[in-house]
Structure 1
């Protein structure tokens, strides 16, 4: 969705309401010319693409013009009032039956990124929530990483993508493009100029005028399919191009009017038979089909196989041509079955409308009132990001049975499957958010993740789509433990526990599964040479203990809780940080508090020392008590953002992103510090948590970008939870620590549960400090709230003020977040 501002002097017509045109001076003064965009329910400038996301935002622009301004006549002032309140009021009335939360979401958020500097490293995904196949514009060739650049002005096609992160790469991908004139198969040669201000990129809908071809391409997705509608110039031959990547095959059936095929683009370690299949059909007969390999056309072939197989399907039509295309990881026949069940005979507009409804049903589980338009846009853009991953990897066959291709053993099995998730990132915020708003989906996801354990023998660390090597720890443990303690249900807890205890104790021969060098960790009580792995393993052991407790396994509880205290083995009081030891128990030397890499993953001592979510009280004691602990946290927030590249050998983007913000050594652009601000609360100073989280929300998030890699919804979920006024300091526990809510009122509407209303009526930019909290009319003293209380619904009220409220918690430690040490 375009969101840039217009330039002074923009003029044009307003095609809504009773007025046809502003006076020229008035338009030049406002610099905007709004119109209603039906697909998204937003007001869009017809000339410059500036976006007004609701009636309030439109009024925000108008209210800055004083009605006493002598440059405007009485008629102009009356017109201003009429447009602001009459025309906009009519639009508001039309929206009142079903608020279009999707209209706030900006799929371009975070896309203006590169490998050297991330504002999210996202793609503008047009998709259904948790859909198996997503769709995105592509402006560059290649299957790795950064194939969409929002600053480019030529597109090569619309890609069917399964990329969860540019660092993981894409798989099972292919492209669709529309074209007139001479046939060009090569992506760079066929590219067409487009103008973002003429285009629409919404969660459910894509519209791009291709200026080179005088053609308009539209697309709307389902979970595993999509529908394209292309309007070619009248009396000209038009064509669709469907092009696979890598080892692939494409064929067509003239009698059935079907194009089908597959691509075997896949990550390392995938089964040999891995493929993404497609089947496409059209709403009218084609004139001819040309097949190609390596961009070379074979005019007589009905099937081609090799590298970059593709098809050019030509039409003579003065009406828009519709292509329906289904995808599958099982077969071309299953792709057709997916097409039949998800699209059938429904029209393009019916699918688009359904997509909007589905997105509004999911995003509307949180209804926000208050805040600025930018805050609401940031909120729902972040919530949209949280609903993209993990992706479903299962399909429904012709008999109505749920089945899936296994990326672990290459076979087709019954049941659900989910993939594309970096647990090292997502356990921190995504799943605590899902527990609140997607509890039924959460349990199903764990069942899907356990397929890796059933079919490959181990639970994947970073499934994409199968085993991938990336990041330390086995933080799927936290995802499971959080669901168990919150009684989410929907999965086999005993089976999950068996998967957890296997990788907690046994070396894994499978790359991308298990804990690296687990034997050394068990022998020494720490990982020689590694701070990050020691801390991650200790936290994961705590999560194992939580599940053991739910199963009544007392001996296991004792065993894993003892292991969860191993963090104490690598704290060096002389330097005041967690520090690596070798196998002989000697500290790694020399020590440099600013050095990244080596013992620390994507950080250094400042960013990594705090990863003891399971035992804040123990960490506080280890670091010399509350006063010294808080002083260290205070220092972190103001310490110059200096860094030495250390073991990385060069500046990585996380270093850059920390250095350009104004939060000291607190590098919010990467996940290891995302819980740290809540350690202030754990130490008895929640007012500092409130101050800093509000600053992070206001300064490091926007509708356009993030402070660093968004990472499968984690960065977005952090914002959503904090905007609600809470955060899960320790996933695997039932508590959410209270922060500083962003909006005056929020309502959580989850099917099957009572509504939960979160109120902060005195909230404002200045009133960031919590004065009092009440739950259902009764004073709530703890600075945390239990999940069970949130799930019961009711009203959680924050009374906010401009002055920090300080309190001594030394005699009431039960009011502080829980720790293993108390």
Structure 2
């Protein structure tokens, strides 16, 4: 065989070199892609137990739009995307606390159009589905349509591939039961060759008593041929001039006007580059997830960690438009408000729809304060905007109005924590005045859950006069939910203590003394004879035949055994009531040993809490009232037990990575995800960070290194690292603690030490001289 010419050989060498360079570049891109934290998130976690606002896919952090498929559409619980349901009933844009809206479905018409309005659901398969933060794709088996979803903060972006030679339609299901509320009054009109404008009403619910109009503007990259309305359902079928090209659809929403919906599209999504929006969404999620970098542990543990961190940024939703206009439903008449604007015309902060801050003292108070102070700052001023509009700081607003969800003044610890951490520095006296109003007659403490028209169920008059809230209330029921006097007393006492710390900070000495006295009211519901917090009637008599394991017997979403430890501001005082720290330790240790037999939760979902057996668990990490208990051992001078039991809880409750398991209870808009993150990095705040220079307790981190990137706009340091030496599944005990190479005698660290930046090093071991397990 003849040898190739030198010229040919040179060309071959050049081609090989170019191929190697291209191959190397591709490998680098793939490698970089693999390093994206967003790819570690598993959105399908616990989706067999979803509630309306629980699942998220095509959504930005705190986005007004939270676009995803719905497989169940009736009710706030057991609705939205449910993994085991194999039928898609539409793609809707709003999955928020007590809000839903704008459900659409791409369809192919076979035969008559008449039946499509009531018969349009489609089977789908998880094998043909892809889900990650900011993106969702799925194939509708009935139609052979591939649907892809992504979004900006206020605009849903759809991509549909209709099968060849099939005319594409989109059904706008504007009048329907959808999740937590009914959609009514839906109207749609064609306003351009490729544009639609419309609105619908999110009807009132028992929790959100006023309606809210959802306005929307829709634009296609193809022409609209017809828009037909079905007189029976009131819904609309939009025919499109489809071809082999993918159909793109933008849907901008607003709670103020169609014009603002259009403006939201113009500002956030002026182009048609679908892949660019997916990338931008991934970048936004990556930036927030990257605030905490973990190294070591298993790949599964890291994936679960970033899924928890992603959950911590879920559920609560922006309600203002890009120009700062927002719905204000706090008064007798609906009005459009406007947030204060910067010089460039953008709002100084965003306004939010949010479930209760009940339990936030042990979750987002700490996590947001560490890694996301700008979010804590925004929420504080959003809550103050409700006060300016309606005269009251809410504990869970929806649709621009109060819902009175849960009990007490749960936003007080959140806002005080933001102040004590230096996140909020201005207008402290005004904020204090607003918070104090909630703790006095006329404020939110007077109202039980969803008590919209009366102010009796909160029992505040009894709390102020007698030092406790009786159970049952002598007036009887019918004044809202969660009328559980002893549980309410415990909450109010802690919240009073938190408010007292702010009074002390701004030198309101009389107020400080007054609220500190009220903070001791927890002692009035401790029955020394039985050794538990217990229900007490209006005459001061303890409940007969008291059972500390009976669920909601004077305690909010818990039993007495769980809620007895709800004294986060005075564990020492509680221990004294129990006969000293050692007796308190033994009592709590017995509870943990018993709870371990049931996996530390009341079953595998929130619905299971009422189960006769599961509800009797003495420690429940599936709901908020007792999620602090592992760290109480630290306060009782047994840090080794905190380290041991917090690891046990993480292993049993927060380590799954499947659709059937995940939080085993009530994941209220990121609270349980936040808790899991804190337990895994080994930092926790017992009183929610409400004292001056807040204290963090050190637990037992599950990773070798945790790097917290501090926000330079709020904190002087750049990074704070937690390094563990000799860590492992068996080495859960912390034997030595060093901060910046200096020994730390206690298992505690101050906020100012963290925000300066530095290194916290923990020497881990499999043994502890205080091991009582």
TM-score (norm 1): 0.80
Q: Is the 8 A contact 2:408 2:492 kept in 1?
A: yes
Equivalent residue, structure 1, for 2:411: 476
1:520 aligns with 2:475: no
- Structure 1 residues 26-105: aligned runs within 5 Å: 91=27, 94-96=30-32, 99-105=35-41
| Greater Cα shift, 420-429 or 790-799 | 420-429
Contact map agreement 1:658 1:666 (CA 8 A) in 2:
no
For the residues of structure 1 that align with 2:35 and 2:597, how far apart are their CA atoms? 46
Q: How large is the Cα RMSD of the aligned pairs?
A: 2.6
- Choose which of 220, 223, 231 in structure 2 pairs with 1:285: 223
> Aligned-pair distance for 1:455?
1.3
1:412 and 2:345 aligned = no
CA 1:694–1:657 in 2, change beyond 3 Å: closer, same or farther? farther
Distance 1:582 1:493 in 2: 38
Specify the alignment match of 2:151 in structure 1.
221
- Paired with 1:420 and 1:389, the residues of 2 have a C-alpha distance of 7
Q: Which residue of 2 aligns with 1:816?
A: none
Task: Describe the superposition over 1:143-194 as per-residue Cα deviations: whole angstroms up to 9, x where unpaired.
Answer: 5332332112221121112333xxxxx4241212111123477676211121
SS across alignment from 1:507: coil
Contact 2:162/2:246 (CA < 8 Å) preserved in 1?
yes
**1:611 and 2:535 equivalent?**
no
The aligned counterpart of 1:632 is: 587
Number of residue pairs matched by the alignment: 688
1:551 is displaced (CA, Å) by 1.1
Superposed displacement of residue 706, structure 1: 1.2
Q: CA deviation at 1:527?
A: 0.8
Answer yes or no: is the 8 Å Cα contact 2:320–2:326 preserved in 1: yes
- The partner residue of 1:794 within 758, 764, 770 is 758
> Is residue 646–residue 700 contact of structure 2 (8 Å, CA) maintained in 1?
yes
Shift of 1:591: 1.1
Within the alignment, does 1:724 sit opposite 2:681 as a pair? yes
2:556 counterpart of 1:620: no
The 1:597–1:143 alpha-carbon spacing in structure 2 relative to 1, beyond 3 Å, is closer
Query: Is the Cα contact below 8 Å between 1:106 and 1:377 reproduced in 2?
Result: yes
Contact kept? 2:223, 2:240, Cα under 8 Å: no
Instruction: Give the SS at the match of 2:398.
Output: coil
Structure 2 counterpart of 1:153 = 86
Q: Contact 1:762 / 1:799 at 8 angstroms: preserved in 2?
A: yes
Q: Distance in 2 between matches of 1:389 and 1:141?
A: 17
* 1:162 equivalent in structure 2: 95
Q: Which has the higher mean CA deviation after the structures are superposed, 576-585 or 500-509?
A: 500-509
- Contact conserved, 1:630 with 1:683, CA < 8 A, in 2? yes
Give the 3-state SS of the residue equivalent to 1:145 in structure 2.
Answer: coil
Structure 2 gaps of 5+ residues are: 1-22, 176-182, 340-349, 472-484, 599-605
Residues 641, 777 of structure 1: CA spacing in aligned structure 2 closer, same or farther, 3 A cutoff? closer
2:29 and 2:556 mapped to 1: Cα distance?
A: 52
Match of 2:657 among 668, 693, 703: 703
Contact kept, 8 Å, 2:595 with 2:620, in 1: the verdict is no
Partner in structure 2 of residue 544 of structure 1: 499
| Cα distance between partner residues in 1 of 2:378 and 2:487 | 30
Q: Distance in 2 between matches of 1:767 and 1:93?
A: 37
1:291/1:310 contact within 8 Å kept = yes
- Residue 537 of structure 1 and its aligned partner are, at CA, apart by 0.6
Other structure's SS at 1:483 match: helix
1:556-612 CA-to-partner distances (Å, cap 9, x unmatched) read 111111110111111111100011222222212121122122311111111110100
Q: Is the 8 A contact 1:728 1:737 kept in 2?
A: yes
Q: Deviations over 1:725-759 (max 9, x none)?
A: 11111111311111000100111123314111111
1:390-435: CA deviation from partner (whole Å, max 9, x where unpaired) = 22222222xxxx2211132321112131221211133320121000
Query: For the Cα contact (< 8 Å) 1:642–1:659, is it kept in 2?
Result: no
Alignment partner, residue 682 of structure 1: 635
Q: Which residue of 2 aligns with 1:737?
A: 697
1:5-404 pair list within 5 angstroms: 91=27, 94-96=30-32, 99-113=35-49, 122-147=54-79, 148-164=81-97, 170-182=98-110, 183=113, 189-245=119-175, 246-268=183-205, 274-295=212-233, 308-397=234-323, 402-404=324-326
Q: 1:360 and 1:615, CA in 2 relative to 1: closer, same or farther beyond 3 A?
A: same
Q: Which residue of 1 aligns with 2:178?
A: none
1:502 paired to 2:434:
no
The equivalent position to 1:771 in structure 2, one of 726, 735, 740, is: 735
The match for 1:489 is: 424
Q: Secondary structure in 1 aligned to 2:634?
A: helix
Cα distance change on mapping 1:471 and 1:781 into 2, 3 Å: same
Distance (Å, rounded) in 1 between the aligned partners of 2:434 and 2:426: 13
Cα separation, partners in 2 of 1:495 and 1:346, compared to 1, 3 Å: farther
Q: Which of residues 384, 394, 397 is equivalent to 1:463? A: 397
Residues in 2 aligned to 1:90 and 1:743: alpha-carbon distance in whole angstroms: 31
| Alpha-carbon distance in structure 1 between the residues aligned to 2:416 and 2:770 | 33
Are 1:590 and 2:523 counterparts?
no
1:314–1:559 CA distance, 2 compared to 1 (3 A): same
- Say if 1:600 and 1:652 are closer, same or farther in 2 by CA, change over 3 A: farther
Distance in 2 (alpha carbons) for counterparts of 1:101 and 1:606:
40
Displacement of 1:516 after TM fit?
1.2
Superposed CA deviations along residues 195-236 of structure 1, whole A, max 9, x for unmatched, are: 112111111111111121111001101111111010111111
* d(CA) in 1 for partners of 2:687, 2:388: 28
The 8 Å contact of residues 392 and 434 in structure 2, kept in 1 or not, is answered as yes
Q: Is the 8 A contact 1:110 1:710 kept in 2?
A: no
1:751-791 residue CA offsets vs partner (Å, 9 max, x unmatched): 31411111113211111110111111111122111111111
Partner of 2:518: 563
Q: Distance in 2 between matches of 1:710 and 1:428?
A: 13
Return the offset for 1:310.
3.1
SS at match of 2:537: coil
Give the corresponding residue for 1:437: 371
Q: Is contact 2:534-2:548 (8 Å) kept?
A: no
1:462 Cα offset (Å): 2.1
Contact 1:484 1:550 in 2 (8 A): no
Q: Secondary structure at the match of 2:96?
A: coil
CA distance in 2, matches of 1:210, 1:522: 59
Q: Distance in 1 between matches of 2:61 and 2:149?
A: 16
* Cα shift at 1:249: 2.9
SS at match of 1:208: strand
Q: Do residues 762 (structure 1) and 734 (structure 2) align?
A: no
Q: Distance in 2 between matches of 1:491 and 1:177?
A: 48
Q: Write out per-residue CA displacement over residues 497-516 of structure 1, whole angstroms, 9 at most, x where no aligned residue.
A: 11221121113487658881
1:751 to 708, 711, 715: 711
Q: Secondary structure at the match of 2:767?
A: coil
